[in-house]
Structure 1
């Protein structure tokens, strides 16, 4: 048991280090699944998309060249999944990096630079998932989407509120 507790954050620093450690470990698990299968990523970024008839940019590089397919319309059968192996690998590597920063911060929670980087990883996650939900419409609020949204926003708020307590 002592061998296992050696990997855990110090117990005298409150709950935030344990939260950071847990979301860091979960991030590593999510990274592995992104590198192995698209199944779970498709559960977060759900829905099919069809070509936009009037994109803002006529080039193939337009970010709005696809729009959500209607659930009942004829275009649903022609819809494309936006979760590609490349997108999953990029997302997996980002998630692994964010998890690594959070794990390091959990062990040295008073380190100003690590603490700030952890806040940034949470804020970037919150902005990313919010934009996918509200701007790009690639997410719907269901079970699989709640954890990343809650972790992104909750972690950001918690760390900002506790900044003076942990960072001297």
Structure 2
């Protein structure tokens, strides 16, 4: 089992891998039904604006982010891969924050909170640990 885990010291590679595993599950859910996207995009316009196509698009974005974060978990010392993973969180944070605060399509609640916590926390963690991980 240890041979399957990232070999770099520190907890960030394990965090990236864990979030990626959850992302795989979310991707599958988004391709099966739009209910996961409806929960995430809970808000005034979600029921009419979240379509099956939109859910699959959300699943595709989630899958792409997952792949980048897995690469980062195993190549955490690579500057470019680290930056790509960081950007996946920055883009997600910007997207969800703008849907909530600028467009009003999401509301603060159980759908938005986990996304903001994971993306915001990951951004802070990755920025503060840059010198520890990047060669």
Specify if TM > 0.5.
yes
Structure 2 partner of 1:36: 32
Secondary structure at the counterpart of residue 140 of structure 1: coil
In the alignment of these two chains, the number of paired residues is 135
Deviations 1:2-59, CA, capped at 9 Å, x for gaps: xx3322212x51110111001111111111111101111111212344xxxxxxxxxx
| Structure 2 residue 70 is matched with structure 1 residue 103 | yes
Confirm or deny that 1:9 pairs with 2:26: no
Secondary structure at 1:143 match in 2: coil
Which residue is 1:123 aligned to?
A: 90
Distance in 2 separating the partners of 1:97 and 1:5: 25
Q: Secondary structure at the match of 2:108?
A: coil
Structure 2: runs of 5+ lacking an equivalent = none
TM-score if structure 1 supplies the norm length?
A: 0.75
1:151 alignment counterpart: 118
Structure of larger gyration radius: 1
SS at 2:27 equivalent: helix
TM-score by length of 2: 0.93
Check whether the contact 1:47–1:81 (CA below 8 A) recurs between aligned residues: no
Aligned mate of 1:86, from 48, 53, 56: 53
Q: Structure 1: which 5+ runs fail to align?
A: 50-67, 69-79
Of Structure 1 and Structure 2, the greater helix share is in 2
Give the corresponding residue for 2:81: 114
